[in-house]
Amino acid sequence: MERKGYLWRTSAALLAVILLTGLLAACGGQSAGTGQEKVKLRLGYLNVMDDAQTILAARAGIYEKHGIDAEMVLFSSGTDLIKAIVGGQLDAGVLGFTNALAWLGQGAELKIVGGAQMGYHSMLVNADSGIETVEELKGKSVASQKQGSTADVVLNGVVWSQAGIAREDVTMQYVSPAVAIQSLASGTVDGAFVFEPYASLAKTSYPVKEIYEIGQSWPFPCMVVIASGDIVNNNREAVERMLDAQKEAIEMLENDPAEAAKWIKDDFIAEETVTKLDGTTIPAVDVIKMSIESQDFSWEITEQDIQKMKEIAQMMVDQEILDTLPDVDSALDLTWQQKL
């Protein structure tokens, strides 16, 4: 199934349902989600574009439309978010699937129940550095997320590997994306491996250029929807409502990024404008729109995605993040997707 531009075939029975729904609406019937008893869900998220689907579903009232009373809980790291799911403080969250694999190896009750975003990590260098390829970063310094993160796993297992660079050939600084950009702009490091919206903000405001983006050369499912075993086993309807809402949010992100940007701009940029290199300004919502458009959001987890998950699981073992190879297939519960 293609990720974008799905072709839906409407049967005569479905057409009758659609017509009946329209008739009910015309007679004062209730829209989707209303009339249902609302379910309370505690949902964790990170303030990154990777989590745009769950942020948008909350801000645009899509969760409410699907009968969900969502308690949104912001976390500063995927590590803390996954701990909250394992500890029972959260029902679900959108985060890197490597977090689930690490905890499943310790016997945690978790399930990957849906897709979210394909990996986008950009290698930026200063525009006047003379560096044009990843290979030229050998012997230089690069800022990225902390060791063991999804970004770190693919940086070592894919980016450096493709360039013929061993990780000890590069001096790493493990910092937040914002600090990585500041370090690059000040010349403290030679490169920064970052995700959105930091890449778009950096390219708008600083003299930097992108020399590599992993999604173009090695697409992989970075962010997924992870749910607690308790909610999966005992409240399947709540899980499916959540995924229905996030699917609708993803469709807005993919098909109408300008509208989506209006809803989520304030989560990423407090100011109304961003100052460009030449001193002029650009509406902040336009920067967020560019950031959305650079991404590939997908609610589906394909067989190819599962294969990439298994490859990354092996990288985690090779990099001594995991002691044993996890069973990716057992970590997945794609019941909702299969129904579609």
**Alpha carbon distance 200, 223 (integer Å):** 19
Which pLDDT value is given to residue 107?
79
Sign of dihedral through CA atoms 301, 307, 310, 311?
negative
> What's the chain's Rg over C-alpha atoms?
21
pLDDT, tens digit (0-9, with 9 covering 90-100), for 114-152: 999 888 899 999 999 999 999 999 999 999 988 888 889
Top pLDDT among 202 and 100 is at 202
Q: Name all domains of the chain by residue range, CATH numbers in brackets.
A: 32-118+220-339 (3.40.190.10), 122-217 (3.40.190.10)
Residues facing residue 122 across a β-bridge: 194, 213
Which pLDDT value is given to residue 17?
33
- Chain CA centroid to CA 1, Å: 20
pLDDT, tens digit (0-9, with 9 covering 90-100), for 16-43: 333 333 333 333 333 444 456 899 999 9
Q: What share of the chain is helix, strand, coil (3-state, %, to 5)?
A: 50, 20, 30
pLDDT, tens digit (0-9, with 9 covering 90-100), for 150-178: 889 999 999 999 999 998 999 999 999 99
pTM for the whole structure: 0.82
Cα-Cα-Cα-Cα torsion 100, 42, 89, 340, nearest 10 degrees, comes to -30
**Alpha carbon distance 176, 208 (integer Å):** 18
Which pLDDT value is given to residue 36?
67
What number of CA atoms fall less than 13 Å from residue 81's CA on the CB side? 29
